[in-house]
Amino acid sequence: MHSVLLVDDDCDSLSALKFVFEVHNYHVVVAEHGGAALTEVKKHLPDLVVTDMEMPEVDGIELCRRLKCLPALVSVPVILVSGGQPPPDVPVAWDAFLPKPVDFYQLLATTEQLPVVRLKPAEWP
């Protein structure tokens, strides 16, 4: 079973995403902002991260940057979602971008196209 870390400060969005992934047999871990997500990846290494862009504390762009700086997570695919567009002057540290409201069929299709890397516990952060 693959695992996904969902990160969003909007409870309704988080619940909807959680439902979609659970229906498709993913183990789901949730975090309400980027800081909480960084704590969660130390406990449960995900196979995929789906994060909102605009959040308090650590936003989605900064979360993507930090995840890609961790050796154990550099290969874990990240999908950034947002109602807006990422700033054009920011280096891309995510593997896919989807606009909000998220089309769940497009999300699942995007997820299936991304490489899922299974790491051994010794490789975890």
Residue 54 lies in a domain: yes
Q: What is the mean pLDDT of residues 58-80?
A: 94
Q: What is the mean pLDDT of residues 33-49?
A: 94
Number of domains the chain is built from? 1
In 32-77, at which residue ranges do the beta strands (DSSP E only) sit? 48-52
Instruction: Give the CATH number for residue 51.
Output: 3.40.50.2300
Residue 31: pLDDT band with limits 50, 70, 90: very high
Q: What is the mean pLDDT of residues 96-124?
A: 78
Residue 124 lies in a domain: no
> In the chain, what percentage of residues exceed pLDDT 90?
74
Residue 125 lies in a domain: no
Residue 36 lies in a domain: yes
Residue 56 lies in a domain: yes
Q: Is 101 exposed, middle or buried (0-12, 13-18, 19+ CB in 10 A)?
A: exposed
Domain membership of residue 41 as a residue range? 3-116
More confident residue, 125 or 110: 110
Residue 123 lies in a domain: no
pLDDT at residue 116, as a whole number: 66
| pTM score | 0.91
The number of CA neighbours under 13 Å toward the Cβ of 37 is: 33
Residue 121 lies in a domain: no
pLDDT of residue 122 exceeding 60: no
Q: What is the mean pLDDT of residues 3-32?
A: 95
pLDDT of residue 13 exceeding 70: yes
